[in-house]
Chain A
C-alpha cells in the first residue's frame, strides 16, 4: 500500500476526433501542451502541428500552456479535447493570389526546340538531324511506293477516260445555269432601276423647287455640296451634312451590311444588331443645334453678304492707305533729306568756323611767313580750302589715335559729324574712329561706322 501511494498517477481524459475518450496517465501533476501532443502523436499518429488542444475554458496553444491537477480534483486533470483546424475565409484578394499561382503553373510550355543539349546545340537542330536520317533510311520504301503509284496510274487511265466524259457533261450543265441566272439578274436590275426612277418622280415637287431656290440663293457653296433631292430634311439642314458626313460613312456602311443581310435572309424577322441603337435625344439635340446653327449660318451668310462689300471697300482702301502711307513715307523721307541737307550746311558753316579758329591757333604758333600762307589759302577758294586745310593739318600732325585724343570730345565729335561718321562713344572710341581716315579713304570705311540718316 505504501508503495502504491508513493507511485501516484494522474489521469488525463482526451476526447478524440471521433468522440472516443483516451485515458493518458502522467506521473506529474503539471503538464505542458507539448508533452500532451507528443503522447497523442504516439497514440493517434496525428502530428503535433496539426493538433489543437482546448479545455473547457482555455486554449492550449503553445509550450507555455500548462494544465495542473489541483489537490481538490483528486487525480484527474481537466478534460482536454483534441481538435483540428477547419480554416475558413474564402474569397477576397487572397483567393486571387492563390488562383494566379495555380494559373501560372498551367502556362508551362511543351515546346523545347530552343533549348540546348549538353553539347550546346539546339534541340531543334538535333531533332532535324534525326528526322533526316530516318528519311534517308526510308528511301527504298519510297521507291517501292513510286512503283506502286505508277501501276495505279496506269489503271486510272481507263477510269480517267470515263471521268472526262462525265466532267464535260456536268460543266455544260453549270454553264447553262450560269447563263440563265445572269440573264435573270440583268432583267431584275433593269426593273429595279425603272422602279427607282418612278419612285423619285413621285416625290413632292414643291420641296424640290424650294430646294432649287435655296441652291440658287445659297450660291456656290451649295453647288459644291452633294445633295440628295429625295428628302426635304437634308435640304433644310444642308449645313449639318458636313458634320453628318463624318459619321455617315460608318453608319451607312453598317446599315448597308444589315440591309444586305436582310435581303439575303429574305427579310424574314431579321433582328438588328445593337450597333444601330441610339437615343433619339442625342439626335434631337443635334437637330436643335442644327436649327440653331442653320439660323446662325443664315444670319452669318447675311453678315457675310453685307461684309463682302465692306471687305471689298477695305481691299480698295488698302492700296489707298498704302499709297497714303507711302506718300507719308516719301514726305517724311523728303523732310529728312532736307533736314539732313540743312544739317550738312550747318556743319559746313561750323567746320569753316572751326577751321578759322584752327588757323588762328596755327598763326599764333607759327612765324609770320606761315600767316601769309594761310591768308593766301583762304583767299584762293573758300569752299574747297576747308577740307584741304583740315586733312593735312589734322592727320599729318598725328601719328596715332591716342594723339588725336588731345583734341577733346567736342572737337572729335564735330570732325566725325562733318565726315558723316558716328560721333558717339568715349574719347578713345571717337579718336580711333577718326584716326582710321588717315590711312583709309572715306568710301572704304565699314558701313557700321557711317552715321545713319
Chain B
C-alpha cells in the first residue's frame, strides 16, 4: 500500500508559487466518508422524532356479509410518517378468494417520483381460536404505479363465510395489518455526483492501484492545473498522447456526471489488455508516470512542476571512527520509503529513517585517503516538499518460497504529521528552522 500525503500548507511564505496551495480544498476519500457518516447520523436521529416505524392496525368490519361494494377501504393510519390503509374485496377480486391489499392512502397527492419500502403482514383474525387466524406477510417497494400490494387470494371465501370456522362472528370481521417502514438506498439510481460532488473511475481491469493514484494526483489542484497547461496539438489523439489523455481524464473527473473510463490513458501508456489485467506496484507506476510527465513538461510553461511539488532534500553524512574524516552528500528525493516492520506508527518509521547506523565488517566505508574504515552513517532532512509522498514498505522476501510476502502489521498514522517534533530532531543543522513542517494526511 502506498500512502500519498499531499499537504497544502505553506512551506515557504516568500514563494508566491506556493500561495495557492494554502487555499487547496482538502478533497479526498475522507470527505466522502465524513459525508456518509452524517447521513447515517441523520437517519438515526430522525427515527425517534418520527412515529415508530412499525405498528399494528386493527379494522373491525360490521355487517360484513351484507356489504355490496366490490372494494372496501379502511380508515387511514400512519406508520413511519406515511399514510396507509387496507383495501379489501369482500367477494374477491375476480376470484373465489378474499382479496386483501395494503394501500398508500395519499398516493394521488404525493410528489412525483415518490417511493417507499415497507414490510407488512395482513391477517384475518379467528374470533373463536386466535391460533387459527390467517396471517400472511410480504414486502414491497411502493411507488406511483404500484401504490398497493397484497394478496389476491388471501383465503377461500368458503372458509371465510363458514360460521363454524370463527372468522365471521355476529357478521363481524376483524382484520389486522402490521406495517414496518424501512429506508432502503436504491443503489441502482444512486448518483454520486449529486450526493458527493464527485464521480468515480471505472475499473478497467485489475487497475484499482492506478485509479487510486489518479485520484490522488487529481486532488492536487496545482498538479491538475499544470497538466491542463501542458501543450497539445489539435492532431493529437488521446490514445497516443499521455498529456492529452490525462487532461481528458482530469476534465471528465471534474465536470462529468457519470463515472469516467481510463481506457484512453492506458492506451496512451502503450498498454494492451494483458497489461490492464496485470497488477502493478502503485509507487512504481507513480515514478514512471511522473518521469514521463516531467519529460513532457520540459521547455514548457509548466516545466519543473513535478520538482516543485514533490522534491525534498536530505543529506547523508559519514563520520569515521578511527580517523578524522567526515563526508556529507546532499540528495534530492520525491518520496520516502518508510519501514513498517518493527514500527508502530509513522513517527517510529521516521525515527528509524534518521537513525545512526554503524558501517563495520563487510559494510566498511572506503575513505579516500585511509582505505576501509569503520564509520557511522546517518540521514537528516534539509527541507521537505510541499507535497510529501510516503511509501510504506509492506514487503519482505521469503527465500523458501522465492516470492514477496506482504507485511500486514498494524500501522498508525495521525491526521496531521508534525515533522518538527522534539525540537526538530529530523532536521539537519543546515535546515531552515523558520519553516513549519506540518502536514495534513490524505491517503
> Chain A interface (Cβ within 8 Å of chain B)?
1, 4, 8-11, 13, 15, 17-23, 25, 44-47, 50, 52, 54-59, 61, 73-76, 78-79, 81, 83-95, 97, 195-196, 199, 202, 228, 230-234, 237, 240, 244, 248, 251, 254-255, 259, 262, 266-272, 274, 276-281, 283, 286-287, 290
Number of B interface residues in the complex (CB < 8 A):
102
- Cα A262 to Cα B165 in complex, Å, equals 13
For A85, the chain B residues whose CB sits under 8 A away are 280-281, 284, 395, 404
Report yes or no: A259 in contact with B147, Cβ–Cβ below 8 A: no
For B287, the chain A residues whose CB sits under 8 A away are 54, 59
- The verdict on B84 contacting chain A, using a C-beta distance below 8 Å, is no
For A281, the chain B residues whose CB sits under 8 A away are 145-148
Query: Taking A9-B366, A267-B132 as contacts, is the C-beta distance between A21 and B377 under 8 angstroms?
Result: yes
Report yes or no: B359 in contact with A21, Cβ–Cβ below 8 A: yes
For A240, the chain B residues whose CB sits under 8 A away are 94
The proximity string for B residues 365-399 relative to A, scoring 1 for CB distances below 8 Å and 0 otherwise, is 11011010000010000000000000101111101
- The verdict on B332 contacting chain A, using a C-beta distance below 8 Å, is yes
Report yes or no: B93 in contact with A59, Cβ–Cβ below 8 A: no
- Cα A231 to Cα B70 in complex, Å, equals 11
Report yes or no: A91 in contact with B203, Cβ–Cβ below 8 A: yes
Rank and list the top 4 A-B pairs by shortest CB-CB distance, nearest first.
A88-B209, A272-B136, A89-B206, A94-B277
8 Å CB contact of A81 from B210, B332, B337: B337
Report yes or no: B280 in contact with A89, Cβ–Cβ below 8 A: yes
Report yes or no: A83 in contact with B395, Cβ–Cβ below 8 A: yes
8 Å CB contact of A280 from B93, B208, B404: B93
> Chain B interface (Cβ within 8 Å of chain A)?
1, 65, 70, 87, 89, 91-97, 99, 101, 103, 121, 126, 131-138, 140, 145-159, 161-164, 203-210, 212, 276-284, 287-288, 291, 311, 316, 318, 327, 329, 331-334, 337, 339, 341, 352-353, 357, 359, 362-366, 368-369, 371, 377, 391, 393-397, 399, 402-404, 406
Report yes or no: B206 in contact with A287, Cβ–Cβ below 8 A: no
**Further 6 A-B residue pairs, CB within 8 A, beyond A196-B162, A268-B133, A271-B137:** A54-B337, A86-B1, A88-B212, A89-B206, A276-B136, A287-B70
Report yes or no: A4 in contact with B369, Cβ–Cβ below 8 A: yes
Distance of B330 from chain A, by nearest CB (Å): 9
Distance of A296 from chain B, by nearest CB (Å): 17
Distance of A185 from chain B, by nearest CB (Å): 17
Report yes or no: A269 in contact with B99, Cβ–Cβ below 8 A: no
A-B contact count (CB 8 A): 248
8 Å CB contact of B366 from A17, A75, A86, A286: A75
Distance of A204 from chain B, by nearest CB (Å): 8
Report yes or no: B138 in contact with A277, Cβ–Cβ below 8 A: yes
By beta carbon, the residue of chain B nearest A47 is B402
Give the most central of B94, B121, B399, B402: most A CB within 10 Å: B94
Query: Taking A76-B329, A195-B164 as contacts, is the C-beta distance between A11 and B365 under 8 angstroms?
Result: yes
- Cα A199 to Cα B44 in complex, Å, equals 53
- Cα A61 to Cα B284 in complex, Å, equals 9
Distance of A231 from chain B, by nearest CB (Å): 5
Report yes or no: B406 in contact with A45, Cβ–Cβ below 8 A: no
Distance of B52 from chain A, by nearest CB (Å): 23
Distance of A16 from chain B, by nearest CB (Å): 10
8 Å CB contact of A199 from B91, B136, B147, B161: B161
Distance of B233 from chain A, by nearest CB (Å): 28
Report yes or no: B133 in contact with A267, Cβ–Cβ below 8 A: yes
By beta carbon, the residue of chain B nearest A195 is B164
Query: Taking A8-B368, A83-B393, A276-B153 as contacts, is the C-beta distance between A88 and B134 under 8 angstroms?
Result: no
Distance of A248 from chain B, by nearest CB (Å): 8
Report yes or no: B281 in contact with A279, Cβ–Cβ below 8 A: no
Provide 6 A-B residue pairs closer than 8 Å at the C-beta atoms, listed in order of the A residue: A11-B365, A47-B402, A57-B311, A89-B206, A233-B92, A279-B149
Distance of A39 from chain B, by nearest CB (Å): 12
Report yes or no: A251 in contact with B153, Cβ–Cβ below 8 A: yes
Query: Taking A22-B363, A89-B279, A93-B277 as contacts, is the C-beta distance between A231 and B157 under 8 angstroms?
Result: yes
Report yes or no: A17 in contact with B397, Cβ–Cβ below 8 A: yes
Query: Taking A269-B131, A279-B148 as contacts, is the C-beta distance between A86 and B404 under 8 angstroms?
Result: yes
For B365, the chain A residues whose CB sits under 8 A away are 11, 23
Report yes or no: A280 in contact with B150, Cβ–Cβ below 8 A: yes
For B395, the chain A residues whose CB sits under 8 A away are 17, 83-86
- Cα A240 to Cα B94 in complex, Å, equals 8
Report yes or no: B396 in contact with A17, Cβ–Cβ below 8 A: yes
Query: Taking A74-B329, A93-B205 as contacts, is the C-beta distance between A52 and B281 under 8 angstroms?
Result: yes
- Cα A240 to Cα B163 in complex, Å, equals 30
Report yes or no: A79 in contact with B279, Cβ–Cβ below 8 A: no
Report yes or no: A280 in contact with B87, Cβ–Cβ below 8 A: yes
Distance of A198 from chain B, by nearest CB (Å): 9
For B210, the chain A residues whose CB sits under 8 A away are 89
Report yes or no: A280 in contact with B99, Cβ–Cβ below 8 A: yes
For B331, the chain A residues whose CB sits under 8 A away are 55-56, 78-79
By beta carbon, the residue of chain A nearest B136 is A272
- Cα A55 to Cα B335 in complex, Å, equals 10
Report yes or no: B159 in contact with A83, Cβ–Cβ below 8 A: no
For B207, the chain A residues whose CB sits under 8 A away are 89, 92
Report yes or no: A87 in contact with B316, Cβ–Cβ below 8 A: no
Give the most central of B206, B316, B337: most A CB within 10 Å: B206
Query: Taking A17-B395, A58-B291, A259-B159 as contacts, is the C-beta distance between A75 and B284 under 8 angstroms?
Result: no
By beta carbon, the residue of chain A nearest B327 is A74
- Cα A266 to Cα B155 in complex, Å, equals 14
- Cα A266 to Cα B129 in complex, Å, equals 10
